[in-house]
Amino acid sequence: MQTWRRILCAVLALNLFLGPLAPLQAAMIGNPAIVQQARAELDREQLRALLARDEARAQLQALGVSPEDVDARVAAMTDAEVAQVNRHLAGMPAGGNILGLIVLLFIVFIITDMLGATDVFPFVHPINK
Protein backbone atom coordinates (compact mmCIF):
# COMPACT_ATOMS: atom_id res chain seq x y z
CA MET A 1 0.00 0.00 0.00
CA GLN A 2 2.85 2.36 0.84
CA THR A 3 4.49 1.82 -2.59
CA TRP A 4 1.26 2.64 -4.41
CA ARG A 5 1.03 5.94 -2.55
CA ARG A 6 4.60 6.82 -3.49
CA ILE A 7 3.98 5.94 -7.14
CA LEU A 8 0.78 8.00 -7.17
CA CYS A 9 2.51 10.95 -5.52
CA ALA A 10 5.40 10.75 -7.98
CA VAL A 11 3.00 10.69 -10.95
CA LEU A 12 1.00 13.62 -9.62
CA ALA A 13 4.15 15.64 -8.86
CA LEU A 14 5.47 14.91 -12.35
CA ASN A 15 2.14 15.97 -13.80
CA LEU A 16 2.26 19.25 -11.88
CA PHE A 17 5.72 20.08 -13.19
CA LEU A 18 5.30 18.94 -16.80
CA GLY A 19 1.70 20.06 -17.29
CA PRO A 20 2.46 23.74 -17.95
CA LEU A 21 5.05 22.81 -20.61
CA ALA A 22 2.29 21.99 -23.09
CA PRO A 23 0.28 25.19 -23.45
CA LEU A 24 -3.24 24.91 -24.73
CA GLN A 25 -5.12 27.52 -26.63
CA ALA A 26 -8.85 27.88 -26.99
CA ALA A 27 -10.34 30.25 -29.51
CA MET A 28 -13.65 30.83 -31.19
CA ILE A 29 -14.03 29.64 -34.76
CA GLY A 30 -15.75 32.21 -36.91
CA ASN A 31 -18.42 31.56 -39.50
CA PRO A 32 -16.15 32.31 -42.47
CA ALA A 33 -13.71 29.63 -41.34
CA ILE A 34 -16.51 27.08 -40.99
CA VAL A 35 -17.94 27.98 -44.39
CA GLN A 36 -14.50 27.79 -46.00
CA GLN A 37 -13.84 24.38 -44.47
CA ALA A 38 -17.25 23.08 -45.59
CA ARG A 39 -16.70 24.46 -49.10
CA ALA A 40 -13.27 22.82 -49.27
CA GLU A 41 -14.69 19.46 -48.22
CA LEU A 42 -17.50 19.81 -50.76
CA ASP A 43 -15.04 20.70 -53.53
CA ARG A 44 -12.85 17.73 -52.65
CA GLU A 45 -15.84 15.33 -52.66
CA GLN A 46 -17.06 16.78 -55.96
CA LEU A 47 -13.63 16.20 -57.54
CA ARG A 48 -13.46 12.66 -56.13
CA ALA A 49 -16.94 11.91 -57.50
CA LEU A 50 -15.97 13.21 -60.93
CA LEU A 51 -12.78 11.18 -61.00
CA ALA A 52 -14.63 8.08 -59.76
CA ARG A 53 -16.81 7.96 -62.87
CA ASP A 54 -16.11 5.05 -65.20
CA GLU A 55 -15.22 7.28 -68.16
CA ALA A 56 -12.72 9.28 -66.13
CA ARG A 57 -11.17 6.15 -64.59
CA ALA A 58 -10.81 4.55 -68.03
CA GLN A 59 -9.19 7.68 -69.46
CA LEU A 60 -6.79 7.99 -66.53
CA GLN A 61 -5.87 4.31 -66.75
CA ALA A 62 -5.22 4.79 -70.47
CA LEU A 63 -2.79 7.54 -69.49
CA GLY A 64 -1.10 5.19 -67.02
CA VAL A 65 -2.53 6.56 -63.77
CA SER A 66 -3.96 3.97 -61.38
CA PRO A 67 -7.12 4.71 -59.35
CA GLU A 68 -5.10 4.50 -56.13
CA ASP A 69 -2.73 7.18 -57.43
CA VAL A 70 -5.70 9.40 -58.29
CA ASP A 71 -7.11 9.10 -54.77
CA ALA A 72 -3.70 9.75 -53.24
CA ARG A 73 -3.10 12.79 -55.43
CA VAL A 74 -6.52 14.29 -54.65
CA ALA A 75 -5.87 13.73 -50.94
CA ALA A 76 -2.48 15.45 -51.24
CA MET A 77 -3.90 18.53 -52.98
CA THR A 78 -4.42 21.72 -51.00
CA ASP A 79 -7.88 23.23 -50.70
CA ALA A 80 -6.92 26.03 -53.09
CA GLU A 81 -5.72 23.54 -55.72
CA VAL A 82 -8.94 21.52 -55.45
CA ALA A 83 -11.03 24.69 -55.82
CA GLN A 84 -8.96 25.77 -58.83
CA VAL A 85 -9.43 22.39 -60.55
CA ASN A 86 -13.17 22.46 -59.89
CA ARG A 87 -13.45 26.01 -61.28
CA HIS A 88 -11.52 24.92 -64.37
CA LEU A 89 -13.74 21.86 -64.86
CA ALA A 90 -16.91 23.90 -64.34
CA GLY A 91 -15.86 26.31 -67.09
CA MET A 92 -15.25 23.58 -69.62
CA PRO A 93 -18.06 22.60 -71.97
CA ALA A 94 -19.42 19.13 -71.37
CA GLY A 95 -20.34 18.47 -74.98
CA GLY A 96 -23.67 20.14 -74.49
CA ASN A 97 -23.76 23.32 -76.59
CA ILE A 98 -24.61 21.78 -79.96
CA LEU A 99 -26.72 24.79 -81.00
CA GLY A 100 -23.67 27.06 -80.78
CA LEU A 101 -21.70 24.63 -82.95
CA ILE A 102 -24.47 24.55 -85.57
CA VAL A 103 -24.66 28.36 -85.69
CA LEU A 104 -20.87 28.56 -86.00
CA LEU A 105 -20.83 26.10 -88.90
CA PHE A 106 -23.70 27.96 -90.60
CA ILE A 107 -21.78 31.25 -90.39
CA VAL A 108 -18.58 29.61 -91.68
CA PHE A 109 -20.43 28.12 -94.66
CA ILE A 110 -22.08 31.45 -95.47
CA ILE A 111 -18.71 33.22 -95.38
CA THR A 112 -17.07 30.58 -97.58
CA ASP A 113 -20.03 30.79 -99.99
CA MET A 114 -19.66 34.57 -100.14
CA LEU A 115 -15.93 34.18 -100.90
CA GLY A 116 -16.70 31.65 -103.63
CA ALA A 117 -14.81 28.77 -101.98
CA THR A 118 -17.95 26.62 -101.57
CA ASP A 119 -21.46 26.48 -103.01
CA VAL A 120 -23.55 25.12 -100.16
CA PHE A 121 -26.45 27.59 -100.03
CA PRO A 122 -28.13 28.68 -103.28
CA PHE A 123 -29.35 31.97 -101.76
CA VAL A 124 -25.78 33.21 -101.10
CA HIS A 125 -24.06 34.78 -104.08
CA PRO A 126 -20.25 35.12 -104.26
CA ILE A 127 -18.80 38.61 -103.87
CA ASN A 128 -16.22 38.13 -106.65
CA LYS A 129 -18.81 38.00 -109.48
What pLDDT sits at residue 100? 65
Select, from the ranges 19-23, 42-46, 76-80, the one with the highest average predicted confidence (pLDDT). Answer: 42-46
Task: Please determine, for residue 64, whether its predicted confidence score (pLDDT) is greater than 60.
Answer: yes
Dist. CA 68–CA 77, nearest whole Å: 14
Model-level pTM? 0.49
> Where is pLDDT greater, at 44 or 64?
44
